[in-house]
Amino acid sequence: MNEELRTKVKIALLATSITLCFSYNSFSFDDGDFQYWNTESVEWKIKEKYKIKLEEEFRFGDNAGTLYYQHSDIGLTWSGFADWLELNASYRQAFDIEKDKWHYENRPHLDATVKFDLLGLSLSDRSRVEYRNREHKDDDWRYRNKFTLSLPKATSYEIQPYVADEVFFDLDDGVFNRNRLYGGVSLRLFKYMKLELYYLLQTTKDKKDWINYNVVGTKLKAVF
């Protein structure tokens, strides 16, 4: 191999290495990235005050072209204490991609949701405490609070617009590091099937900067 050819090979290898390095970090999406999130779940009563829910969610980033997150969730809800209070215990296993490698997270969580009506509006406030057992990062605790305001249901399809806001606090570091602002509508497709369409603006603190994601989401729920 002559010297000129060796030089070209070295340049090609260097360029390939640089390209791979950037591609490994490509899943830290740009500020303003458009995403699509899809959720399917099934929920059924096992007793008068108890119900079980199974859920799967998939998230696509990089202008909705790349799958980067998936979770499976199973939970038990009890509403026997009062009509306005639901208590839930769930386990979630999540997978997300970072530096071109999938990592898992075990995430048990406890929820307490207060529900009430005011001036014809349906209001709910959900508090959630999560323990995050992560493969590639230190374990930590997180608190989330989601407040939802829903308008009255309309038509035989039970169309119901809503707005919601959810805040995230890292309990180990004592910092607020994420916010999700929702606007959407839910409706009943069939007797046991509900559909939800929403827009979500997620704002996350990434080191020193705040990164925004614009998300269009769909949720399909079977209720028995």
Instruction: Tell me the pTM.
Output: 0.86
Co-location of 57 and 42 in the same domain: yes
For residues 216 and 99, the model is more confident at 216
Residue 118 burial by CB count (10 A; 0-12/13-18/19+): exposed, middle or buried? exposed
List beta partners, residue 96. Answer: 69, 103
* Amino acid identity for residue 62 in this structure: D
How confident is the model over 142-198, as pLDDT tens digits? Answer: 999 999 999 999 999 999 999 999 999 999 999 999 999 999 999 999 999 999 999
Specify the CATH number for the domain of residue 192: 2.40.128.140
- pLDDT at site 79: 97
Residue 33: closest CA among 197, 218, 201: 201
Based on the domain organization, do 132 and 209 belong to the same domain?
yes
Report DSSP letters for 78-121, one per residue. Answer: EEEEETTEEEEEEEEEEEEEETTEEEEEEEEEEEEEEEEEETTE
Q: Are residues 41 and 129 in the same domain?
A: yes
Distance CA 104, CA 97 (A): 9
Q: How far is CA 6 from CA 10, 14, 15, 18, 128, in A?
A: 6, 12, 14, 18, 59
Residues 146, 210 within the same domain: yes
Query: What is the β-pairing status of strands 209-223 and 33-47?
Result: parallel
Same domain for 68 and 16: no
**What are the backbone angles phi and psi of residue 13, rounded to the nearest 5°?**
-65, -40
* Residue 210 token pair: 């705040």
**How many folded domains does the chain comprise?**
2
Residues 67 and 172 in one domain: yes
- CA nearest to 71, candidates 40, 94, 41: 94
Helix or strand run (H / E) with residue 48: none
Q: Are residues 12 and 52 in the same domain?
A: no
Are 10 and 48 contained in the same domain?
no
* Owning domain of residue 20: 1-28
Q: What is the pLDDT of residue 206?
A: 85
Residues 18 and 83 in one domain: no
Q: 200 is written with which tokens?
A: 């979500």
Query: What is residue 100's predicted lDDT score, i.e. its pLDDT?
Result: 86
Give the integer Cα–Cα distance in Å for 224 and 29: 38
Residues 21 and 49 in one domain: no
Verify that 199 and 130 share a domain, yes or no: yes
Per-residue model confidence as pLDDT tens digits over 72-104: 999 999 999 999 999 999 999 999 998 889 999
Assess whether 84 and 174 both reside in one domain: yes
